[in-house]
Amino acid sequence: MQVFLNNEALQTEAATVSELSEQLSLPAMGVALAVDGKLVPKASWADTPLHEGARLTVIKAVCGG
């Protein structure tokens, strides 16, 4: 199916957020993710299914002032 990662189209076979995080090799720390504008806590990633056209916001920690 197709989802949108930070507004970019992405083809994925992942059924859940947690599978997608593996596909993206997200770092273990300093990451947050929202589906359709709603934050999904990391503890719920495995139970959160992805759907066609889902809009994902994924951010990670970087240096900054």
Instruction: List interacting residues with another protein (CB under 8 A).
Output: 5-6, 8, 10, 24-27, 29-34, 37, 39, 41-42, 57-65
Residue for token pair 């300093």 = 30
φ, ψ dihedrals at 62, nearest 5°? -140, 170
Comparison of 23 and 51: residue with beta carbon closer to another protein:
23
Report the nearest approach of another protein to the CB of residue 12 (Å): 11
Query: Closer to another protein at the Cβ: 44 or 49?
Result: 44
